Chain A
């Protein structure tokens, strides 16, 4: 048995039946990381010492629960990886930026606290586009993550390492964050399951912020069942995040009438199948839709008329929020500090030296759009369009239960293919950003591969707090 190929459920069963220990599992993953990660670059930090300590404690807890005849938590002793924008107490947290190269997290993010309570094992911190800004993973200050299916291609971004490490069996599952597609896009490119939860479903306390009205943390896993397990462990109200909601996730709707494919109304937005989509991607996604139809689902063509404005709207709102959020990285509070003649000079130099090209670009766009004279034409306008995008979805969900569409118009691109042209990179997010603007949950499900062997993801979008419906339907299509 290859321990690194197991799903969470399988690993849990193995631990329960004493086939192996959490230390065995952890060592198997650490070995695998040593073997393959030099090339893949999915990890920025491997937290070997922490992982082995946690594994020993997990084994003790498992032994104790057995002695008492009780169950232990599903994630107890399971090795995982965490996007390096989410803080793990006492470990480095770089956001893949030079400005935080030596920054050590002073506390646990709420999601980490919750995972630790279950007894999880943390293998390390994964690579990403600097401050989660990017769709390819190439904006990392520490080099791009390579796609495990084709090492000349990107893993997708921004949660590049989190998706690649699960696809390459370097972790049993991982956490990513999604502001405009950053969980779903790399999941589509790497062939993993990635869930971007409803805005407010998961606490973001301890996540280095990018666009605060859009950011959400979610799981990247080997199958749908595991995504449900991890989501269930991390969701819920947190007093440290005012936007989190008191959400009682109802597990496993699978098999219940309300989420059987039979009779389910699936909306297919006509605006999502237009020029620009790769013919192979379209074919694979359409054949999955056909499969759902054959299983008894009712396919309804819907219209999201403001789709064409969503990307521009997103690329105004997210940089505006980012320019405010990143103002705190000023050489005074934390991270890199470059000495200067006065305080202003310290600000200018620290930011100038610390941030990479894409982060600077977004700070500039955001500052421009918020500046006097341009505010109404850009920021205010974008906020109005955001309402229209929300209304489009609200109207669609009066007619359908779920929406099916592609995650990305293309499969994984070649490393370096679009780095000189920021706008062409932004266009890869065309199918994912609307979900964040509307605060909806969305999942990337691997549904096929191109002739070249590159994975293609189907995006399943649900109404607010309908994660259970998305997961139940996804597991029937898996």
Chain B
């Protein structure tokens, strides 16, 4: 069984607040699901590097800025919960 501390550690990595009750349920559910994943240990292990690179990695694009209409940009900022002068406001970090 996955420990309460481990659930709390993962939740903090995910920036997720969980109640005591949720932590208990999560221990049970994650344990069951992770046990199911053990099935993968039975899978074949020899996969060549080349095959492993195929498929999804092909459609790459340049990392470049694609301009957006001013109207859309304004709407995007407007959707933020807290904003000022066209910028999204965040709480003090340090």
Binding site for B on A (CB under 8 A): 103-104, 106-107, 199-200, 213, 239-240, 242-245, 306, 308-309, 312-313, 315-316, 323, 327, 330-337, 340, 342-344, 346-349, 351-353, 355, 357, 360-361, 363-365, 367-368, 371, 378, 381-385, 387-388, 390-391, 422-423, 426, 439
Contacts and interface: CB of A to CB of B under 8 A. Distances in A.
B5 interface: no
A399 B57 CA distance: 26
Contacts of A334: 79-81
Given A106-B79, A383-B52, A390-B55, A327 B15 contact: yes
Nearest to A363: B14
Contact of B33 (A340, A353, A423): A423
B90 A343 contact: yes
A138 B38 CA distance: 27
A53 B51 CA distance: 52
Interface string B22-65: 10011001101110110110111101000110111001110000
B52 A368 contact: no
A347 B33 contact: no
A333 B75 CA distance: 12
A332 B81 contact: yes
A323 B30 contact: no
A103 B13 CA distance: 26
Contacts of A104: 79
7 contacts: A308-B39, A340-B91, A352-B17, A363-B16, A365-B33, A378-B37, A385-B40
A382 B56 CA distance: 14
B10 A387 contact: no
Given A242-B60, A364-B16, A423-B32, A371 B88 contact: no
Interface residues of B, number: 49
Given A308-B39, A360-B22, A351 B92 contact: no
B72 interface: yes
> When A and B form their complex, which 3 residue pairs have the shortest distance between CB atoms, in order from nearest?
A352-B17, A106-B75, A337-B81
B93 interface: yes
A309 B43 contact: yes
Contacts of A342: 91-93
A134 to B, nearest CB: 14
B1 interface: no
B14 A384 contact: no
A426 B32 CA distance: 12
A352 B79 contact: no
Nearest to A306: B43
A391 B11 CA distance: 36
Contacts of A426: 33
B59 A367 contact: no
Nearest to B68: A107
Contacts of B59: 200, 242-245
Contacts of A340: 91
A364 B14 contact: yes
Nearest to A352: B17
